[in-house]
Structures are given as structure tokens and as C-alpha cells.
Amino acid sequence: MKTILKPTLLKIALAIVLLALSSYLLRMYITSTISDTFPWGFPLRFYLAWGPCPPDETCSESNFIFLLIDIVFWYMISGLLTSKFAGGKSG
């Protein structure tokens, strides 16, 4: 288990790519079905904006804890993927 979670450049890069790709795909799906909601983050939405936004109002919200949970989630997934497909010898 320690080798799966040991940080390597491959695991970190893969986690960032998976986080960005999953967030982007969810955003595209949501914006195609609900035209005025713009989320970022999967499995948890760490940023959400909506509109149209009147002047002098805040039409977005973010959650730092959800961002951290998403990063940890995708890092764990990248650790499992690299140990399975790279034979545990990633990075």
C-alpha cells in the first residue's frame, strides 16, 4: 500500500490530468443540459458559477475542502492505475 501512495512525478501528473479531464467532461455535460450553470470538479463540485449575473452580485461559489478531496481522490486513482499498469515501478 505504501508504494501505491508514494508520490512520483507520473502519479502527480496523472492525477492532475484526471482531475482536469473529469471536471471538463462534467462541465460540458452540465452546460449542455442546463445552460446557466457552470461547475468545475468531479466527484465533488469545488467551483460553481451561474448566470446571467446582475451587476454588483456574486454569482459563483467555491469550496476549498471539496477541491482537496477531489485532488486526493484522483491521486489515489492515479496510484492504483500506475501500480496496475506500470507494475508498481512508476516514475
Give the residue carrying C-alpha cell 482536469: 20
In the predicted structure, residue 90 carries a pLDDT above the cut 50: no
Residues 76 and 12: their CA atoms lie apart, in Å, by 10
- Asked whether residue 1 is domain-assigned, the answer is no
- Asked whether residue 44 is domain-assigned, the answer is yes
- Asked whether residue 39 is domain-assigned, the answer is yes
What single-letter DSSP state applies at residue 45?
Answer: -
Percent residues over pLDDT 90 in the chain: 70
HSE, CB side, 13 Å, CA atoms: give it for residue 38: 9
- Asked whether residue 35 is domain-assigned, the answer is yes
Write out pLDDT tens, residues 13-67. Answer: 999 999 999 999 999 999 999 888 999 999 999 999 998 888 889 999 999 999 9
Reported in sequence order, the residue ranges of the chain that DSSP labels E, i.e. its strands, are: 37-40, 47-50, 60-62
Residues 45 and 67: their CA atoms lie apart, in Å, by 8
- Asked whether residue 91 is domain-assigned, the answer is no
In the predicted structure, residue 74 carries a pLDDT above the cut 90: yes
- Asked whether residue 58 is domain-assigned, the answer is yes
Domain count, the chain: 1
pLDDT for position 1: 67
| Residue-range definition of the domain harbouring residue 54 | 7-85
- Asked whether residue 2 is domain-assigned, the answer is no
